[in-house]
Amino acid sequence: MNDSNDKYRNLLFLVRSHSFSAILLVAGIAWTSVYIRSLLASTDTADLSQPTDMLFAGLALIISAVLAMPAVLERIPQKAYRVMLVVGIGSAAYFFMASTNSVLDEEQFLKDQAKVNAITIQRLTDIRDAQLAYKEVNGAFTDSFDTLFTFINAPLVPLNFSIGSFHDTLPEAQSYEEGYVIKRSDVPGIAAEMAWDEQTLLDSITADAVAYKVRDTLYTSFFAENFTPQQRADKKLPPVDMDSLSFSPTSGTRFMIDTTYVNQSGLTVSAIKVQDPTPFGRANVKKDTLRFGSLVEAHTDGNWRQ
């Protein structure tokens, strides 16, 4: 019975004498393992998800755990042991706080990156839409922002303008033959001949109350159809600032435009690539360049989620 009690007391003493060391060792190994897993998961284009300070904190705890072992205590003067243990635990605490601050800095960096990338993507998307409209009118993309902006503001985009519908009693072919298909500019003169005002005739044509139909091609600007504050609000998009549209929000440097011609199914077609020359990121770390288009294929896809 006494032997059993002695064994129990010895075991209890052993556990107590090593408990502090074990706690430090487990914490140190855990922090070091988290850093090592982060290191193995990192790539050339991505930073470590855990700061180096976490590794130093883990190593400091492991060293402190070793110093706290009874077998080590027996060989080190008590004063020196206390100094080394305080230094070890203090270092671990310092590096832990530093790693926590690094994580907070990383979270802020990711928020800033998401904000800047959103602005960049929206500007590239607006430029792409304008380039596609320019190509539709002119047959090819342009590598000049000045030329593109002149097009955006000029009334060069054709719009089919129709009022009134054809019907069985007066079909389309007969309406053209008898001169009832008119242009928008003809409405005031015809209204005057009928002793009507212009709006009354337009309302009558809309209601198919007269034989006249309006079929015309009007020209508007890309800006008026896509970039006005009302248009952007209706589409739930941010306003367009023409003064900053062609510039990277990271550095204020103009986006790079390259155009060429590529072969597609035996046809020579215009191709374009527009990219941000100064992508957001950290120094000495490879950054993801946001862009759309290609100079080897005829597409205008962006390298972000569409």
Q: Which residues on adjacent β-strands are paired with residue 292?
A: 274, 302
Tokens, residue 114? 């998401």
CA distance 245 to 238: 12
How much of the chain, in percent, has pLDDT values that exceed 70?
71
Q: Lowest-pLDDT range, 124-128, 171-175, 279-283?
A: 279-283
Which residue, among 75, 63, 54, 122, has the nearest Cα to 292 in the 3D structure?
Answer: 122
Domain ranges across the chain: 2-112, 157-220
Q: Is 302 helix (H, G, I), strand (E, B) or coil?
A: strand
102-122 pLDDT, tens digit per residue, is 555 667 778 888 899 999 999
Q: How confident is the model at residue 126 (pLDDT cuts 50, 70, 90)?
A: very high
Q: Lowest-pLDDT range, 7-11, 101-105, 142-146?
A: 7-11
Q: Residue 63 is which amino acid?
A: I
Average pLDDT over residues 145-160: 91
Tokens, residue 190? 């015809």
Catalogue the E-assigned strands of the chain.
Answer: 157-163, 181-182, 213-220, 256-264, 267-275, 291-293
Task: Look at 55 and 220; give whichever has higher pLDDT.
Answer: 220
Average pLDDT over residues 28-39: 72
210-238 pLDDT, tens digit per residue, is 999 999 888 889 999 999 999 999 999 99
Handedness of CA 47, 48, 53, 56 (dihedral sign): negative
43-52 pLDDT, tens digit per residue, is 544 445 556 7
Average pLDDT over the chain reads 81
Task: Look at 59 and 20; give whichever has higher pLDDT.
Answer: 59
Full-prediction pTM beyond 0.85? no
Q: Is the pLDDT of residue 300 over 50?
A: yes
CA distance 39 to 203: 72
CA 266 to chain centre: 35
CA distance 34 to 164: 72
Instruction: Determine contact, residues 202/187, Cβ cutoff 8 Å.
Output: yes
Q: Lowest-pLDDT range, 51-55, 154-158, 185-189, 261-265?
A: 51-55
Instruction: Determine contact, residues 119/245, Cβ cutoff 8 Å.
Output: no
CA distance 82 to 190: 105
Q: How confident is the model at residue 293 (pLDDT cuts 50, 70, 90)?
A: very high
Q: Is the pLDDT of residue 6 over 60?
A: no
How much of the chain, in percent, has pLDDT values that exceed 90?
45
Question: What pLDDT, on a 0 to 100 scale, did the predictor assign at position 206?
Answer: 92
Question: What pLDDT, on a 0 to 100 scale, did the predictor assign at position 44?
Answer: 46
Cα separations (Å) of 261 from 18, 139, 297, 299, 302? 75, 12, 9, 12, 19
- For the chain, how far is it from start to end, CA to CA, in angstroms? 77
CA distance 85 to 60: 10
